Amino acid sequence: MGQARPNAGHQAVAELERRGLLTGIVTQNVDGLHQAAGARRVIELHGGLDRVVCLSCRERTPRAELERRLRAANPAWEAAAARINPDGDAVLTDAQVTGFQVVDCVACGGVLKPDVVFFGENVPRPRVDECFALVAGASLLLVLGSSLTVRSGLRFVTKAASLGIPIAIVNQGETGGDADASLTLDAPLGPTLTELTTRLPVPAQ
């Protein structure tokens, strides 16, 4: 994940923000690629894999620091994953994890987890409220590359529709928000957004 780089879609979204055409970005991704492309106002709805959070004191620390501590606690440990799942989880055997030393929060000794919303968890309410406020202040809601099959993202489309805010959706395939959209475009994001940035005028500085 740390070696992933922004694609043409991320670059185009950052360019649209730079031109003042986007007031904010709500992403369901946890890879930090919007920020890596140069986007500034990004709300990570489901958190980010570049950090960990303590379940007790809620202190957040860089994931790279956790990796350094884990390597120090397990200097002889080496394991090659038998399989990497689509969600990034590595499948290891019981023998591979026997004796592995887990490290705790340096602040309070609590249990650490990736700072992402796992399946079954709720997005923190303040984060949801920030997203709703961003939607409420928008002149248009643009949905990019989401099937909107879960409520986590669909609720913002529903909110925009209830406020009479136009909705445009660019996605490959149908989405759960199509019925509320003023415009839907079944197309790949990278080429579509890149073409959009070439057609839109660059604002005067």
Active site residues: 46
d(C-alpha 141, C-alpha 112), whole Å = 35
Asked if residues 15 and 22 have their Cβ atoms less than 8 Å apart, the reply is no
Angle at 145 between CA 5 and CA 170, to 5 degrees: 130
Give me the helices (H) in the chain, please.
8-18, 33-36, 63-73, 94-97, 125-136, 151-162, 189-199
d(C-alpha 91, C-alpha 112), whole Å = 20
d(C-alpha 101, C-alpha 134), whole Å = 43
